[in-house]
Amino acid sequence: MSNDQTPLGTIHISPRVIATIAYQAVLSSYGVVGLAPKNLMSGIAHALAKDPTEGIEVHYDEDGIVIDLYIIVEYGTRITAVANSAANAVRYKVEKAVGLPVKAVNVHVRGLRVSQEDEKEE
């Protein structure tokens, strides 16, 4: 949990808040069609809890915030461009919203999704 000391008191920012901001940013990124669980057990837990931050992990260390994204990419897009775009969008939105440095955004591509239009063309 991140703590920020102000003259009026302390502000605590939970990792879930940062994950929610990252979730909105990554889903609005070009080429990202969804998020995937880190592993099967994590996926079952998120499905049962209906967690909107599935596919995002947030960790704090003394240098800043580290965010791991587990994404599903649209088939036919350039994977590296999509991953870079998602990482940059998440870094920008989180830093802007919470005012804390994002040390790293690690993007893990968990799958590709073929859209219905691509299936019809073949």
Per-residue confidence in pLDDT tens, the chain, 122 aa: 566 667 878 888 889 999 999 999 999 999 999 888 877 655 555 555 556 678 999 998 888 899 999 999 999 999 999 999 999 999 999 999 998 899 999 999 999 988 776 555 55
AA identity, residue 110:
R
Cβ neighbours for 39, distance < 8 A, ≥ 6 positions apart: none
Q: What is the pLDDT of residue 91?
A: 97
Tell me the fold of 2-121.
Alpha-Beta Plaits (3.30.70)
AA identity, residue 48:
L
pTM exceeds 0.85 = no
Phi, psi of 24 (to 5 degrees): -65, -40
